[in-house]
Chains A and B, each alone.
Chain A
């Protein structure tokens, strides 16, 4: 297995599941921002493209103890991504300051090995050619490339926004490698009506996310598998945190 790089800047998310209502605004914003084509028939959810999916979690109890929570799942931008080392053609890499796992569409051969490796199902395949209804092509985000059929794609933490934020900093004479909190946020972060998603540099104490990920209610998905995700979740509810990882019956939940 290849060695994994450490980064000075680590873009990450803290998603407060107690604030999330499952409205799906993040999913819609992501679709529009990242030029994900609408599908004529999206009834098969296992063949529909969504870089970010909101899962419904339940505590499994019946009324009146029944509770639900909603969990938005973007790409975890893992610190030790299982997908990067397996790609035979280096179409996906974790090599840029900021720690975002890239996906190079013109390089991808569509073998789907990365999809098999990802336990979060964060990777999606273009089963058909993307088509936009008449006129809708005018709504495409100019900085985001569209993808042909036969390649894998995934959440990029709106990487084009990262580039724009760095460009803006350069124009304003600031250091592009020392962006202020809020200079660069993803479209899902921006769209969330409840402010459940907080985005920033996990390593930077000036960024709000830095504090949030240290919370005793913070956890990451499937932490024990060693993928080291850069997406954190927060919940005061123990049953929610317990659903963040696989626990044996006698094991205690984190937090």
Chain B
């Protein structure tokens, strides 16, 4: 057979019928990604070698950028479990066109969060104590259990996609394994939905149970504070559009259409619906917090905000500009189908959930509880930014490789004819 020497040197590895940029162009991109990764790796080395003292964390802010980053990416990675639930359990078939990407994004978010946690805990070699000496009363125990288990589920969901790589799949055994994995996918989607719902909730529950911290303490139902349910809802209200945003960024970078507009719009509709439900409860929760929990603790609404850095603008931005507004834009068909408004809403939605995780993590710790205590402020330093950038670079690397060599987007060939 004649070889086509115009094709990139690694063209034999590309998904069937797909074109990709030249290998040298790809390697330039990977070099940039690896440069960022290297910076983060140096930060990680310094943290592990010298201790967490090299970060901007302190005794008031035991949680900072990394925990905010973790909670935000875990919420935004919720597209994986929720789309999986809708695709495999509720049989919403069109979602098959984006399900692979949701799995990869979910895997990256969860594995990235776990990598950050390796740096964030003071004694990473004792991480297994979470299983061995588990405290069943702690929400964090539940988070440790579910996040690690769910990350394994995401690996299982990602594996068949790797096995479907064109050259690998020529092997009969690999082909059979990939096929059988696919048959089992509804089971894993179910397990994933169960695990993910619980740990999304437990991450919120982690904060709600802190009864001596009025900024985040919440009443609740049985053992679950309201934040448990709010975190589940906010995750499924933002995760699907985050996947769409990742997809769109990939489209802009590659110059190709990867997922049809109908699918993106459907993801927006799903997220918008869940975001609307979330906002109803979030507004009610905020009202109850301001009018019951705070006065019960001897505090006024004004007392839990401070200057510009922890000002009320964050709350209003979270609730209205990045909550109610995107919910409205996403549930009304006419605004949802306007691409500018759709993407604006998607971005605002993701910013809103990130603000929520930030204030619940950082502002909660900044707010003094003892009347003679003072407001303190927190700014992450280079080591924390570096390690976070490392995770972003890791995600960019895996996404780039997956896009180049794996059949991630079933519609790609058709949409780019």
The judgment on whether A and B are partners is yes
Task: Tell me whether B299 is interfacial, beta carbon within 8 Å.
Answer: yes
Report the nearest A residue to B128, measured CB to CB.
A109
A87 to B129, CA, bound (A): 11
Contact across chains for A224 and B51 when beta carbons are under 8 A apart: no
Residues of chain B with a CB closer than 8 A to A113's CB = 62, 138, 140, 206
- Using A88-B144, A90-B135 as known contacts, say yes or no to A227 and B212 having CB atoms under 8 A apart: yes
Task: Tell me whether B60 is interfacial, beta carbon within 8 Å.
Answer: yes
Bitwise interface map of B from 119 to 157 toward A, beta carbon under 8 Å scored 1, else 0: 011110011011011110111110110000000000000
Task: Tell me whether A140 is interfacial, beta carbon within 8 Å.
Answer: no
Cβ distance B168 to chain A, nearest Cβ, rounded Å: 39
Report the nearest B residue to A225, measured CB to CB.
B212
A205 to B254, CA, bound (A): 79
A92 to B359, CA, bound (A): 27
Report the nearest A residue to B378, measured CB to CB.
A46
Contact across chains for B209 and A85 when beta carbons are under 8 A apart: yes
Cβ distance B275 to chain A, nearest Cβ, rounded Å: 28
Contact across chains for A127 and B370 when beta carbons are under 8 A apart: no
Considering only CB atoms and an 8 Å cut-off, how many residues of chain A contact the other chain? Answer: 57
A151 to B120, CA, bound (A): 12
Residues of chain B with a CB closer than 8 A to A121's CB = 59-60, 370, 373
Task: Tell me whether A71 is interfacial, beta carbon within 8 Å.
Answer: yes
A251 to B296, CA, bound (A): 11
Contact across chains for B371 and A86 when beta carbons are under 8 A apart: no
Q: Which of A147-170 contact B (CB under 8 A)?
A: 148-152
Task: Tell me whether B214 is interfacial, beta carbon within 8 Å.
Answer: yes
A150 to B124, CA, bound (A): 9
Contact across chains for B141 and A88 when beta carbons are under 8 A apart: yes
How many contacts between A and B, using CB within 8 angstroms? Answer: 173
Interface centre among B52, B123, B211, B299 (most CB of A within 10 A): B123
Which one, A8-16, A18-26, A209-217, A242-250, is touching chain B? Answer: A242-250
Cβ distance B333 to chain A, nearest Cβ, rounded Å: 43
Cβ-defined partner of B129 (8 Å) among A107, A112, A222, A246: A107
Report the nearest B residue to A114, measured CB to CB.
B62
Cβ-defined partner of A112 (8 Å) among B62, B211, B298: B62
Cβ distance B141 to chain A, nearest Cβ, rounded Å: 4
Task: Tell me whether A43 is interfacial, beta carbon within 8 Å.
Answer: no
Task: Tell me whether B182 is interfacial, beta carbon within 8 Å.
Answer: no
Task: Tell me whether B213 is interfacial, beta carbon within 8 Å.
Answer: yes
Contact across chains for A110 and B122 when beta carbons are under 8 A apart: yes
Task: Tell me whether A124 is interfacial, beta carbon within 8 Å.
Answer: yes
Residues of chain A with a CB closer than 8 A to B297's CB = 224-225, 246
Cβ-defined partner of A115 (8 Å) among B50, B62, B206, B370: B62
Cβ-defined partner of B130 (8 Å) among A88, A148, A151, A224: A88
Task: Tell me whether B58 is interfacial, beta carbon within 8 Å.
Answer: yes
Task: Tell me whether B300 is interfacial, beta carbon within 8 Å.
Answer: yes
Contact across chains for A86 and B212 when beta carbons are under 8 A apart: no
Bitwise interface map of A from 223 to 247 toward B, beta carbon under 8 Å scored 1, else 0: 0111100000000000000111111
Contact across chains for B51 and A111 when beta carbons are under 8 A apart: no
Task: Tell me whether A116 is interfacial, beta carbon within 8 Å.
Answer: yes
Interface residues on chain B, size class: 35 or more
Cβ distance B335 to chain A, nearest Cβ, rounded Å: 39
Report the nearest B residue to A245, measured CB to CB.
B298
Task: Tell me whether B63 is interfacial, beta carbon within 8 Å.
Answer: yes
Interface centre among B53, B126, B212 (most CB of A within 10 A): B212
Cβ distance B120 to chain A, nearest Cβ, rounded Å: 8
Residues of chain B with a CB closer than 8 A to A88's CB = 129-130, 134-135, 138, 140-141, 143-144
Report the nearest A residue to B217, measured CB to CB.
A225
Contact across chains for A125 and B122 when beta carbons are under 8 A apart: yes
Task: Tell me whether B221 is interfacial, beta carbon within 8 Å.
Answer: no
Contact across chains for B122 and A150 when beta carbons are under 8 A apart: yes
Cβ distance B357 to chain A, nearest Cβ, rounded Å: 14
Residues of chain B with a CB closer than 8 A to A47's CB = 53, 58-59
Interface centre among A85, A123, A124, A151 (most CB of B within 10 A): A85
Interface centre among B60, B62, B376 (most CB of A within 10 A): B62
Residues of chain B with a CB closer than 8 A to A120's CB = 369-370
A243 to B210, CA, bound (A): 22
A152 to B134, CA, bound (A): 18
Interface centre among B58, B139, B303 (most CB of A within 10 A): B58
A71 to B372, CA, bound (A): 10
Contact across chains for B122 and A86 when beta carbons are under 8 A apart: no
Residues of chain A with a CB closer than 8 A to B303's CB = 246
Contact across chains for A116 and B62 when beta carbons are under 8 A apart: yes
Residues of chain B with a CB closer than 8 A to A85's CB = 135, 137-138, 209
Task: Tell me whether B379 is interfacial, beta carbon within 8 Å.
Answer: no
- Using A88-B134, A247-B298 as known contacts, say yes or no to A128 and B53 having CB atoms under 8 A apart: yes
A151 to B126, CA, bound (A): 11
Task: Tell me whether B311 is interfacial, beta carbon within 8 Å.
Answer: no
Task: Tell me whether B380 is interfacial, beta carbon within 8 Å.
Answer: no
Q: Which of B182-204 contact A (CB under 8 A)?
A: none
Task: Tell me whether A144 is interfacial, beta carbon within 8 Å.
Answer: no
- Using A87-B135, A108-B122, A245-B371 as known contacts, say yes or no to A127 and B209 having CB atoms under 8 A apart: no
Task: Tell me whether A57 is interfacial, beta carbon within 8 Å.
Answer: yes
Task: Tell me whether B223 is interfacial, beta carbon within 8 Å.
Answer: yes
A128 to B59, CA, bound (A): 13
With A89-B134, A119-B213 already in contact, 10 other A-B pairs whose C-beta atoms are closer than 8 Å: A46-B60, A46-B376, A86-B138, A86-B209, A90-B133, A110-B52, A127-B51, A127-B52, A149-B122, A224-B298
List 27 A–B pairs whose Cβ atoms lie within 8 Å, in order of A's numbering: A44-B58, A46-B61, A57-B372, A85-B137, A87-B140, A107-B133, A109-B121, A110-B126, A112-B122, A118-B212, A119-B213, A121-B370, A123-B59, A127-B51, A128-B50, A129-B51, A148-B123, A149-B53, A152-B122, A222-B370, A224-B297, A224-B298, A225-B369, A243-B372, A245-B371, A246-B298, A246-B299
Interface of B with A (CB < 8 Å)?
50-53, 57-63, 120-123, 126-127, 129-130, 132-135, 137-141, 143-144, 206, 209-214, 223, 295-300, 303, 364-365, 369-373, 376
